[in-house]
Amino acid sequence: MIQRVLSGRYELEEKIGSGGMAEVYKAHDRLLARPVAIKILHAEYRSDVEFIERFHREAKSAARLSHPNIVSIYDVGVAGNDHYIVMEYVQGNTLKKKMQDEGPLDMLTATRIAKDIASGLTHAHANNIVHCDIKPHNILMTEDGHAKITDFGIARAVTESTLTYGGSVVGSVHYFSPEQARGGAITPKSDVYSVGIVLYEMLTNRLPFTGDNPFTIAMKHVEEEPISPSRYRPQIPPMLEAIVCRTMSKSPEIRPTSFELVQELSKVETALSVTVKSDPDATQVLSITDIPSRRAVRKGLGTQVAQQEEPVAEEPVEQKPFYKSKVFIMMMALVLMLGFGVGIFAAFGKVLNTEETVTVPEVKGKQLALARQILEDNKLRVNVAETYDANVPAGQVVSQDPDVGKTVKSDRLVTIYVSKGGESIDMPDLAGLAKSAAIERLQKLGLNLGSVYEKDSSSEPGTVLSHDPTQGTKINRGQTVDLIVSRGEPEKKVEEVKVTREYTHVPNVENASLSVAESGIEGRGLHVGSVTYEDSTQAEGTVIAQYPSPDAEIEVGSYVDLVVARRAQPEPVREPEPEPVREPESEPQSNPIQNDVPSRESDQAKER
């Protein structure tokens, strides 16, 4: 296969690497006459249409990236059944190989490499591309010591599809973020977490989480806090360790963005560079190996002088009295020195015996590794105790003892209680227990006491009557439980009997006369309320409606409103009835009447 030429252009020369997804070859680009690296997918992925589509889509997206800390992608293609990506050829080994060869990297080198990785990710994240598989195997080291991120082409496809290939992602599980381990949403902060793992490994030559199988390791990412890197390498500056702890936080909100990570690492790089620059001077001071020989020369010269002076000094020694001898002078000098020392001790003994005091800093709500580092930086010892608390995410400090702001002596032991999250259990039945026994039971189960309510009951005062959540309910350790406790039997009072409320049903008084209705209502212990009259065809004085309606249940002493019928007025209704007035409409009948008038007048005239 090495003799093959892909698409008539890329001539494969030698195999330079292999991974779980693909094999990598060094090749020669005949068209542009340059060396390239070609990644060819393994045969088992050729039949996965969805994977292939994502492979090409993500590779084309990554090809848009152009950054000195990202391996450039030149081309994506298919040759026969082989799907391949053509990339920039980087002369050098992977970061993983560098760590295997050199062990823990010096802090300045590790910081610069992490900064290069974060810088490349900043460019990718700005283009809405998340790598998803940052690990030392995917970091190539150039000959001048710079880091380049590779495998952008298949990173997204790996995380979205290969979980169905049972074990395909084993090589990356050590660098997974908690959200990746849980199968949650992937964000740029997921890449930042992986950078923190890589930086941790560069500084300590250890992985923060290991296990017998991928599932165990993934769960450690979710549930456990890593050992502080300074435990393995005390020389790590607190500022650098704080960055490692923050990038490896379980909560994405606490982690910095890739851009913020570049800025923070730049500050550490500057500080470390100043330290490194001062080393040559320090080395020159420490490397003056000829000092003993010079001292020997001076000692020899002094011996020769003493030998020359000895004969001269021997004669007067015998003649001088003892108080003028060298021995007496030496003894007096020693006594004076002892006296001076006693005086110093007496004057400053109180100061010398005074122990340094410190103020306990606040670490509540912080991740375990960061909390430990803060306390140790303040010259305090740390004791870690675990507790269940459903309201505090696992790995964060719930409380501390002594509390924040307390002034204590240095090297004081501070106990921090770290949340284990909420473990689901079945709520037990506490009814019938004494209040103190119920509280003790809750504490043993890792549950917290919430509110305590009292209620009148025939049970012994202080006896638990019920609780919330109720028996059998799924509840997390660390969650609060409210108790309802007996107050005892209430005292019977006459006033309480008097105010007892009674209820009755409203009688049906419709169609009854008003007097009968009033008697029926008052007979039920009720009162007649408003009485209104309305025109009705029913008999005058009878009830035609009532409020409340019949059979309604109301309190004794309440009022019932009535509507009573009254006789309708006939005049307004019969006004339009006089039909005979319409005679003018029949004109033919008026003529005979008019014709009769003159005949009647003539008859009267005849009579006269």
DSSP 94: B
Omega cis (within 30) before 311: no
- The CA–CA distances, whole Å, from 130 to 64, 126, 198 equal 13, 10, 17
Task: Quickly tell me which residue has 């964060």 as its tokens.
Answer: 396
- The CA–CA distances, whole Å, from 69 to 26, 90, 105, 320 equal 20, 11, 19, 85
- The CA–CA distances, whole Å, from 439 to 243, 422, 450, 451, 452 equal 42, 19, 10, 12, 11
Task: Quickly tell me which residue has 């002078």 as its tokens.
Answer: 329
Query: According to DSSP H, which parts of 162-287 are helical?
Result: 178-182, 188-204, 214-223, 229-232, 238-247, 258-286
Positions of E strands within 282-365? 357-359
| Helix/strand number for the chain, H first, E second | 18, 23
Residue 55, judged by CB atoms within 10 A of its CB (0-12, 13-18, 19+), counts as buried
**Rounded distance, CA 347 to CA 341, Å?**
10
**Rounded distance, CA 400 to CA 587, Å?**
118
Pick the catalytic residue: 29, 82, 101, 133? 133
Axis crossing angle, helix 258-286 with helix 238-247, rounded to the nearest 10: 150
Helix or strand run (H / E) with residue 255: none
- The CA–CA distances, whole Å, from 433 to 333, 382, 480 equal 82, 39, 18
Evaluated on CA atoms 189, 195, 197, 200, the torsion sign reads negative
Omega cis (within 30) before 469: yes
DSSP 86: E
Active site residue 133: yes
What type of residue is 386?
E
Beta carbons of 565 and 541 less than 8 angstroms apart? yes
Strands 139-141 and 381-387: unpaired
Beta carbons of 11 and 86 less than 8 angstroms apart? no
Sheet of 480-488: strand order equals: 448-456, 480-488, 464-468
What type of residue is 574?
R
Beta carbons of 565 and 544 less than 8 angstroms apart? yes
DSSP 7: T
Phi, psi of 379, rounded to the nearest 5 degrees: 65, 40
By annotation, the residues acting in catalysis are 133
